[in-house]
Amino acid sequence: MTTTLLMSSLIVSFLLILYYTTIVVASSESRCRRYKSIISFGDSIADTGNYVHLSNVNHLPQAAFLPYGESFFHPPSGRYSDGRLVIDFIAEFLGLPYVPPYFGSQNVSFNQGINFAVYGATALDRAFLVKQGITSDFTNISLSVQLNTFKQILPNLCASSTRDCREMLGDSLILMGEIGGNDYNYPFFEGKSINEINELVPLIIKAISSAIVDLIDLGGKTFLVPGNFPIGCSTAYLTLFQTATVEHDPFTGCIPWLNKFGEHHNEQLKIELKQLQKLYPHVNIIYADYYNSLYGLFQEPAKYGFKNRPLAACCGVGGQYNFTIGKECGENGVSYCQNPSEYVNWDGYHLTEATYQ
């Protein structure tokens, strides 16, 4: 199969993952067999357990306990959902193992895939954000830290194989995120102005682009780069901006100006990716349109098997959206729905397994 045909098939495959609610794993074997592993970077949208392993055993995060993972993993796996994430469905589709977290793993290898994504991670370094007056208590495992960790372990990974290091990386699908969302979440929830937050957009795009270039230099050939979600449909944001003066879309109930901000980030990211594709024509850079894929669920929830009130959280308590900031999923007194598959939002910040599927 030629590279062009292979990539066409891969793009079709990912469109199926993003737009349909069922996945036929066997169909991937003939179309996408060349990918031998998944290398992942990002935040909680792709974290398969890193944050739990990095946490103090006496103060484990919510994702270490039920109801997280209750729909699939039993017990919880450290994923911020009731079950599988997008990265898990991609692995299934490609006929590959679920990608284990790097932190806390005993035997890291290309065969299993490697995941550096960490809950709360940012595209920009913590020190830089603090200088900008963003002081939320968030992890220091930024995108550059994740990338540098990968570079440090790469010689040992390759030394244990007879295959060339660049070849091994070239045979991997590299998932770049989602990353950058938290760079916006923290200042929004700290009350920063939209003008201040807008100034971060080109810096975040540059951080993602620079990481891709570094990985290309190491031998990476295929990159799946997700855009941001429609944050104006996020339960947490809807609760944060729940005032009489905030305009809501009468059709979806989402907040238009927040969604426009997300669209702006995505447009800038796509422009940058097109430039990278021109600079590196031998590399395949695929933009994953998480925004429109998710927004369609809010436009026609019943079509995809969700309730007609898709903005409320499954796991939460209080208010119009079954969510209270500071009293969140996993805490005492916070309940969760009986059928998470009917809900789009899981805990106010993250999505259900059914949505990710």
CB 318 within 8 Å of CB 327: yes
- CA–CA gap between residue 74 and residue 68 (Å, rounded): 9
The answer to whether 318 and 351 have CB atoms below 8 angstroms apart is no
Asked if the model's pLDDT at residue 29 lies above 50, the reply is no
Query: pLDDT band at 33, cuts 50/70/90?
Result: very low
Q: Residue 183: which H helix or E strand, with range?
A: helix 181-189
pLDDT at residue 126 above 70? yes
Percent of residues in the chain assigned helix, strand, coil, to nearest 5: 45, 10, 50
Indicate the pLDDT class of residue 31, thresholds 50, 70 and 90: very low
pTM: 0.90
Taking only Cα atoms into account, the Rg of the chain, rounded to an integer number of angstroms, comes to: 19
**Whole-number pLDDT of residue 104:** 87
DSSP 173: E
- Encode pLDDT of 65-85 as tens digits: 999 999 999 889 999 999 999
Cβ neighbours around 117 below 10 Å, total: 30
User: Which of 150, 144, 108, 105 is closest to 123 using CA atoms?
Assistant: 144
User: Hey, which residues are catalytic here?
Assistant: 44, 347, 350
Helix, strand, or coil (residue 17): helix
Interatomic CA distance for residues 146 and 212, integer angstroms: 12
pLDDT at 139: 84
Q: Report DSSP letters for 244-260, one per residue.
A: TTS---TTT---HHHHH
Overall average pLDDT of the 81-95 stretch: 97
Specify which residues 313 forms β-bridges with. Answer: 345
Q: Are 23 and 16 within 8 A, CB to CB?
A: yes
What is the longest distance spanned by two Cα atoms in the chain? 64
Residue 90 C-alpha from the chain's centroid? 12
Mean pLDDT calculated for residue range 340-354 = 97
Contacts 24+ apart (CB under 8 A), 267-275: 268/201, 268/202, 268/205, 269/205, 269/208, 269/225, 269/227, 269/228, 270/227, 272/205, 272/206, 272/208, 272/209, 273/209, 273/225
pLDDT at 245: 85
Taking residues 298-316, report their average pLDDT. Answer: 94
Question: 75: which 2 tokens?
Answer: 């017990």
Integer Cα distance of 171 and 173 in angstroms: 7
Tokens 């570094």 locate to 214
Is there a contact between 326 and 264 (Cβ–Cβ < 8 Å)? no
Digit-coded pLDDT (tens) for 173-226:
999 999 999 999 999 999 999 999 999 999 999 999 999 999 999 999 999 999
The chain-wide mean pLDDT, for the chain, equals 90
The answer, yes or no, to whether residue 25 has pLDDT greater than 60, is no
pLDDT-derived band at 348 (thresholds 50, 70, 90) equals very high
Amino acid type, 239: T
Q: How far is CA 123 from the centre of its chain?
A: 12
- List helix spans (H) across 42-85: 50-54
pLDDT band, very low/low/confident/very high, at 160 (cuts 50, 70, 90):
confident
pLDDT at 15: 46
